[in-house]
Structure 1
Amino acid sequence: MVSWFNGKLERKGEFTLYRLIRFIQAKRPDIVAIDSVTELGDDLRKFLRALPPGTKLVQVTGKPGEQRTLQSLAKEHGIRTGDRFDPYEEAKVAALLASKGVGYEVLAFEDEVIVKVTRGRSHGKGGWSQDRYRKRVHNLVRDKVREIEDRLRRADIPFDLETEEKDYGLARGEFRVYASREELAGLIRPMRGGDVEVRIQPVERAELGFAPLKKEEAIRERKSIIVGIDPGITVGIAAIDLDGRIVALHSERNMPVGEVFRFISEIGHPVIIATDVSPAPGFVEKIARSFKAQLFVPRESLRVEEKNELLRDLGITVDDDHQRDALAAAYKAYLRIKPKLEHIDARLREAGLTKKSDEVKALVIAGYNLGEAMQRVTLRERKKEEEKEEPETEKSFDAEPYLKRIRELERRIELLERENEELREIIKEQRKTIGRLERKIADYDEEVRRKVLRERELEAKVRRIEVLEKQLREAKAVIERLSRDLVQVKRMNVVEVRGSAVPLKVLRVLSWGELDRIEREVGLRKGDVLFVINPAGAGKAIAEELVEKGIRAIITEKPLPEVVKEVLREAHLPFFTSEELDVKRVDEFAVVERETLEKAIEELLKRWEEEDREREAEKLLRLVEEYRIERARELERKAREELEGEKRRKREGF
């Protein structure tokens, strides 16, 4: 093993697998470079799992099936090599190639992470204390799940959550987070040994993946495409090439991030990932970061009419709305860069590089200017041609290639100067357009602001009017009710002043608490007449209390319980219903006409006296009848005894 750090190469020595892993975990390098991952054998997965976050395992010779020798790669990138059979020499070349961005990163994990939140230790057996402890732990698990959920939402990281409820808390929570381990670093920390455990497990791929370290490698080797994505339960994917032709159109339900990544990789290399909504969903941003592609977001979310218009321009029908949204996003992104692509085509025709149009366009989209992109493609082609030529052992010096190279560079410089001048003019025009549009937007914003303020003021006034109208209706209803009550009270006062009415003391219910309230507020004296609204639930004791207090009469809205009636009847305390006496009541005040009350009391007491006399007479007759029957039985018994005595004496005389 050798290390390359800050431009210095240092020989480290030979390591066992265990010591190598310990060394990597201690140093936390950016890249671990190797010429072939097959040399790790069955320990490859174990080695990948042991790498610290942020450290990449890179196979510098290329992805499987397309590998090249270290020597050919070193020659292409200007690295001098020594003994090809020296393992330290191979390690040095691998490190230098990786430092130049050569090679493919070995991907063992999906861009998905499982985060499990569970209790930290067993509850054990026990009584109340164990139950309280179990509930406390489940509440802690619930709080930790809510905390992680809040952090993921604030970081705008997509996820799915499954929970198991227990004891008004949670026994378990499992997140499937659509992000890499590096993205979660510092956001979610694992926890062990306490009441709550948090475990973070990356999702392993079924098969290893390989991603180029540099975007140019992917651009050179695979077809460049523009991809539109519509995320959701059903994911829509659309891909078009840099000439605006549709390459792929697909939609699938419950499609994970890793599957989306593989589907797009099989089509080509995306230089632009597009969405139809603004701002871009986290799912789409994740895919764009994974491919290191440009993210296209429209200034405002595309309307359905605009999407349909874009599809009509393409002259294609789709299977569902998800494919429509994805294709509209991709085509909108293509239309945005179409003028630039047409300009590139024109320049490439002048330079005779039309065969490399796709590659040059992809490099320009990736961030290179047109001159740099054309230069890279030209140099790469020349190196390939030089490699194909057989090296000559002895050859005389020939200046023609150098002169040809100088002429090419002069033409390229002239081309770049013209392109630079044109670009300056384009920038000048664009700045003027931007200034005009900014002024227009400012005027429009001011007009919108005034319109919004007027609408808000109008809405506030309408709401205020509605509130006042409601208050007015309520006030009118209260005034109307109080007016009726006032008329009734005036009538009651007139009747009471004239002495033709008896005021009643009103009880809401017939209970001890209500009796205490009446005595406390207005007093309860002998001879008072009570008016009870709801006597239900009263018992024998409270009825005896009323008799003892000397209440003259009781009037109720609802019938008295039978047990109360019996006590009042026995004590000759009159009781009536409000319907019998025509009670007039307003809230806590009630009166009854004196003449009506006196007459009702007199009639009721007279009826009770007659009933009592009838009961006494019936009782006396019953006693006389019982005495007569008893006397007849006694005489019969004596007669029977005398007859038996006479018979006995006669027998004794014989």
Structure 2
Amino acid sequence: MPILIVGIDIISEEPKRFAVVSWFNGKIIKHGEFTFYRLLRFIRAKKPDIVAMDNIHELGEYLRKFIRAIPQGTKIVQVTGRPGEQKPLWSLAKEHGIRVGDKFNPYEEAKVCALLAAKGVGYEVLPFEDEVIIKVSRGRSQGKGGWSQDRYRRRVHNLIQNKVREIEETLKRADIPFDLEIKEKDQGLERGEFRVYTSREELAGLIKPMKGGDVEIRIRPVERKTFEFVPLKSESAIRERKSIIVGLDPGITVGIAALDLNGEILALYSERNMAVSDIVRFISEVGHPIIVATDVNPAPGLVEKISRSFKAMLFVPRESLKVEEKNELLKNLGISVEDDHQRDALAAAYKAYLRLKPKLDHVEAKLREMGITKKGEEIKALVIQGYNLGEAILKVKEKEKSKEIKTAEVTETSVDVTPYIEKIKELENTINLLEKENQELRAVIEEQRKIIEGLENRLAAYDERIREKIIREKEMEIREKRIEYLEKELREARLIIEKLSKDLVLTKRMHLLELKGTAVPLKVIENLTWKEIEELERSAGIKKEDVLYVVNPSGAGKSIAEHLAEKRIKALISAKTLPNLVYETLKENKIPVLYEDEIEVKRVDDFAIVDRKELEGAIEEKLKRWEEEEKEREVQEFLRLVEEYRLERIKELKKKAEEEH
């Protein structure tokens, strides 16, 4: 697929100016002289696959700004190699058959950089860790206080909480490990910060940044302390490393412990603010982890990330280890640690080793019986990874055989080729001899290809077995999760049945009281609205002498009270205070209004009763009290009228007396 490569070189330092040349589909295009910010705009617009240069540090103070500003997916390549191992640009051009014009022309250097990158020459600069920080926080200033401002603040904190939960679910569905820190406020969240253990390229499309609203989402890749350089094309040899069990305690201070397969401590270390790459590098220098262990359940996201990085098995204890248990494990090892982080990491690794020890002892005993001791550690590692003992022994033997074949090939090649290389330096007529040697080597390569194909077929068969085993394990895991889900549903159903049983017993007792005539049934209305009144009239009807029980009367008005008065109900019992208009309307129509503190109501869902004698007594008392209040009101009214008449008569007498004088 055609790719776009932009080659750049420095023309001048003050002001900073660049020569820019692009390579696309075999064609070179000279774009001219660019300032730094114009170069950034050009790269953002074109979104090249590669930006190539001979030395990235020529950017000087602009380097970090340049790296942060280029589009996601654009690689920065230093064609001359990693720092400390760099080759001259013109030597590389000659080595790869690139014609060079004026060596002092910046455009010529930019062109050579682009052509070398197109041939896969150079090292990609990795400025970021495989970690991304996602911060969810308030998007706007809340301003000054006040009741409405407090309500707005609570709303924003709820929005932040919902967005944090949404991101958390997205990462879990994508099976991306992460750690989350939150700050709670107003029954919501003031902010949430995710540390996601993946590259920003893998995160692209899953979570998008947000600005300008009530909630702001900022996504920032974690920058490396020092840049890493990775070859574009070449493969580096993998050196054999010791198989180890690693215990990891993540946090601000990271604790790392490493044991060999005999339980011996190889490394014990802790450091503040270790990046993922630093952790991986430290572990790699000790050995190759086949188990990565933690002391807590569930495993933190960082531990899962490190486990996946090494394709190692993850060990998680059934329950988080207690401090007493950790101290007991360290006591058995007979070692002291510098801090709690080293203790936790070592306890996790040793706990994993103790879990594997019976299997390791069994393998070692079998190997002694078979007289195989040379590659015992490698065989143990394969058994831990899931191979049976026979498969592990066979795999190690095949690996040794393959090494012997490769060693023989290298030896033969070095013996045959060296004289010709020496003769090439002395005489030009040795070309024919080298061509013959080339044919012989091609024959050796063909023979090796056949051997490799045979080994690949055997590996494919082993891979198929492993794949079937993994499928079986996944099916078992799915069944176990299904069983857990059904057990949870069963527990919830039992709780519902238990509640319904209790309600049924209470309902039967209430019904029995009603049949005996000692209780009066109530017609229950949840909300005193026209809609629920109409539903009650359709289902059971509202008749004269009915007693209504209202749970929430807040939505009622005068018209509803008048309607109930027309129905001539016997009484109305309310769980809460009636609106004043409703109360006064019912009072005028001599319909008693009772509250739960005046009479005891026994209720199960839509069925409720009250004691008949208690109801009659409460109604009588309420009507009597209303009657007394009415009489008192009439007396007060009469006295008011008398007083008004007296005052008026006094005024008239005074007026008459004044007229007579």
Structure 1 counterpart of 2:384: 332
Structure 1 counterpart of 2:45: 26
1:396 counterpart = 2:429: yes
* CA drift at 1:48: 0.9
Between 1:190-199 and 1:413-422, the stretch displaced more is 413-422
CA 1:66/1:543 → structure 2, altered by over 3 Å: closer, same or farther?
same
Q: Which amino acid aligns with 1:44?
A: L
Please list every run of 5 or more consecutive structure 1 residues that lacks an aligned counterpart in the other structure.
316-326, 357-373, 490-507, 519-529, 549-654
1:133 counterpart = 2:152: yes
Match for 1:109 among 124, 128, 131? 128
1:187 counterpart = 2:236: no
Listed one character per residue, the Cα deviations across residues 493-538 of structure 1 (whole Å, up to 9, x for unaligned) are: xxxxxxxxxxxxxxx9xx98399999xxxxxxxxxxx9779x9xx9
Structure 1 counterpart of 2:332: none
Q: Distance in 2 between matches of 1:460 and 1:135?
A: 34
Q: 3-state DSSP class of the match of 1:396?
A: helix
Q: Which amino acid aligns with 2:225?
A: A
1:347 counterpart = 2:402: yes
Q: Distance in 2 between matches of 1:339 and 1:314?
A: 14
Q: Distance in 1 between matches of 2:301 and 2:187?
A: 32
1:513 counterpart = 2:594: yes
Structure 2 counterpart of 1:408: 441
* CA drift at 1:542: 6.8
* CA drift at 1:200: 2.0
Q: Distance in 1 between matches of 2:125 and 2:234?
A: 16
Listed one character per residue, the Cα deviations across residues 23-61 of structure 1 (whole Å, up to 9, x for unaligned) are: 111111222122112211111111111111112212222
Structure 1 counterpart of 2:231: 212
* CA drift at 1:3: 2.3
Between 1:461-470 and 1:301-310, the stretch displaced more is 461-470
Q: Which amino acid aligns with 1:121?
A: R
Q: Equivalences for 1:19-168 in 2 at 5 Å?
A: 19-77=38-96, 79=98, 81-125=100-144, 127-168=146-187
Structure 1 counterpart of 2:219: 200
Q: Distance in 2 between matches of 1:98 and 1:174?
A: 38
Q: Distance in 1 between matches of 2:101 and 2:128?
A: 36
Q: Which amino acid aligns with 1:68?
A: K
Q: Which amino acid aligns with 1:332?
A: I
* CA drift at 1:404: 2.1
Q: Equivalences for 1:236-251 in 2 at 5 Å?
A: 249-250=267-268
Q: Distance in 1 between matches of 2:440 and 2:126?
A: 45
* CA drift at 1:100: 3.8
Q: 3-state DSSP class of the match of 2:63?
A: helix
CA 1:149/1:395 → structure 2, altered by over 3 Å: closer, same or farther?
same
CA 1:546/1:5 → structure 2, altered by over 3 Å: closer, same or farther?
closer
Q: Distance in 1 between matches of 2:280 and 2:490?
A: 54
Q: Which amino acid aligns with 2:72?
A: P
Structure 2 counterpart of 1:307: 356
- Per the normalisation by structure 1, the TM-score is 0.53
Q: 3-state DSSP class of the match of 1:67?
A: coil
Q: 3-state DSSP class of the match of 1:216?
A: coil
Q: Equivalences for 1:7-18 in 2 at 5 Å?
A: 7-18=26-37
1:3 counterpart = 2:27: no
Between 1:127-136 and 1:27-36, the stretch displaced more is 127-136
CA 1:44/1:264 → structure 2, altered by over 3 Å: closer, same or farther?
farther
Q: Distance in 2 between matches of 1:143 and 1:179?
A: 23
CA 1:400/1:174 → structure 2, altered by over 3 Å: closer, same or farther?
same
Given that residues 230 and 276 in structure 1 are in contact (C-alpha distance below 8 angstroms), is that contact kept between their aligned partners in structure 2?
A: yes
Number of residue-to-residue matches in the alignment = 470
CA 1:40/1:307 → structure 2, altered by over 3 Å: closer, same or farther?
same
Q: Distance in 2 between matches of 1:334 and 1:46?
A: 48
Listed one character per residue, the Cα deviations across residues 318-350 of structure 1 (whole Å, up to 9, x for unaligned) are: xxxxxxxxx997883597877445324323424
Percent identity, aligned pairs only?
43
Q: Distance in 1 between matches of 2:483 and 2:227?
A: 61
Q: 3-state DSSP class of the match of 2:208?
A: coil
Q: Equivalences for 1:201-600 in 2 at 5 Å?
A: 201-214=220-233, 216-217=235-236, 219=237, 233=250, 249-250=267-268, 252=270, 256-264=275-283, 283=302, 286=305, 295=311, 307-309=356-358, 312=361, 332-333=384-385, 339-340=394-395, 342-353=397-408, 392=425, 395-421=428-454, 426=458, 513=594
Q: Distance in 2 between matches of 1:389 and 1:77?
A: 22
Q: 3-state DSSP class of the match of 1:94?
A: helix
Structure 2 counterpart of 1:645: none
Given that residues 243 and 260 in structure 2 are in contact (C-alpha distance below 8 angstroms), is that contact kept between their aligned partners in structure 1?
A: yes
Between 1:404-413 and 1:246-255, the stretch displaced more is 246-255
Q: Distance in 1 between matches of 2:79 and 2:213?
A: 44
* CA drift at 1:216: 0.6
Given that residues 307 and 314 in structure 2 are in contact (C-alpha distance below 8 angstroms), is that contact kept between their aligned partners in structure 1?
A: no
CA RMSD of aligned residues (A): 6.3
* CA drift at 1:153: 2.2
Q: Which has the larger radius of gyration?
A: 1
Given that residues 114 and 200 in structure 1 are in contact (C-alpha distance below 8 angstroms), is that contact kept between their aligned partners in structure 2?
A: yes
Structure 1 counterpart of 2:334: none
- Per the normalisation by structure 2, the TM-score is 0.53
Q: Distance in 1 between matches of 2:433 and 2:462?
A: 44
Q: Distance in 2 between matches of 1:237 and 1:394?
A: 59
Listed one character per residue, the Cα deviations across residues 195-240 of structure 1 (whole Å, up to 9, x for unaligned) are: 22222222223333333334613x37x7667776666647656599
Q: 3-state DSSP class of the match of 2:80?
A: coil
Listed one character per residue, the Cα deviations across residues 524-572 of structure 1 (whole Å, up to 9, x for unaligned) are: xxxxxx9779x9xx9x977976999xxxxxxxxxxxxxxxxxxxxxxxx
Q: Distance in 2 between matches of 1:267 and 1:434?
A: 31
Listed one character per residue, the Cα deviations across residues 576-617 of structure 1 (whole Å, up to 9, x for unaligned) are: xxxxxxxxxxxxxxxxxxxxxxxxxxxxxxxxxxxxxxxxxx
Q: Distance in 2 between matches of 1:405 and 1:332?
A: 44
Q: 3-state DSSP class of the match of 2:120?
A: coil
